[in-house]
A and B are shown apart, each in its own frame.
Chain A
């Protein structure tokens, strides 16, 4: 079945960067776009952006442009999100979520990766 396995929790210092991974299995990786979503207690769910694993094409929420960079490695069926210039406001749980093949909803989610930014 479809599985999205995310990398583990990260504790990072302000001003640094972190790269999260999302390994897909159970389907053809290049057939579905991949979303990334941020979840915090105060802000709920926020869409960061989406990547087309086949072409590498991306679309970002303006709020996260310059903060998040989405990439893929087709050879390992893995999507990545790099977060840069981290501040405590970037502390959150980050999910990768597969876009359904035909409709604009997320039909499979990773388990989430917690990022804590603290000195």
Chain B
């Protein structure tokens, strides 16, 4: 199985500053030149929502404050500037092979 290691487990950020969340894959998630890595946001008490798919493509309605990047097997979700509404847990997920796997999550709080 492809293991996704997310860090940090929790993150406290000042309003208006930048949040960076990392997700390292145990092996390549690339298919035909596209990294099949996706990011979800889950607010407290709510269901998960897709933010970024295929490494850097924003889902419909997602603001440009959210961006995805990749360096080797290390994927990054950046939120800048952070707003109060961004308090949530963020998960990465690989879509290359079954079983689909998720990172353990990063809880974002305001400092």
Q: Which residues of B contact A95 (CB under 8 A)?
A: 47-48
Q: Is the interface of B mostly helix, strand, loop or mixed?
A: loop
Q: Which residues of A contact B (CB under 8 A)?
A: 35, 44-47, 50, 59, 61-63, 95, 97, 100, 103-107, 109-112
Q: Can you report 14 A-B residue pairs in the complex whose CB atoms are below 8 A from each other?
A: A45-B105, A46-B102, A47-B102, A50-B98, A50-B100, A61-B98, A61-B99, A62-B99, A105-B50, A105-B54, A106-B40, A109-B47, A109-B48, A110-B47
Looking at A50, A61, A63, A106, the one whose CB has the most chain B CB atoms below 10 A away is: A106
| B75 is an interface residue with CB less than 8 A from chain A | no
Q: Which of B50, B53, B95, B102 is in CB contact (< 8 Å) with A45?
A: B102
Given A105-B38, A111-B47, A47 contacting B53 (CB threshold 8 A): no
Looking at A44, A62, A63, the one whose CB has the most chain B CB atoms below 10 A away is: A44
Q: Which residues of B contact A (CB under 8 A)?
A: 36, 38, 40, 47-50, 53-54, 59, 91, 93, 95-96, 98-105
Q: Is A47 in contact with B101, judged by CB distance below 8 angstroms? A: yes
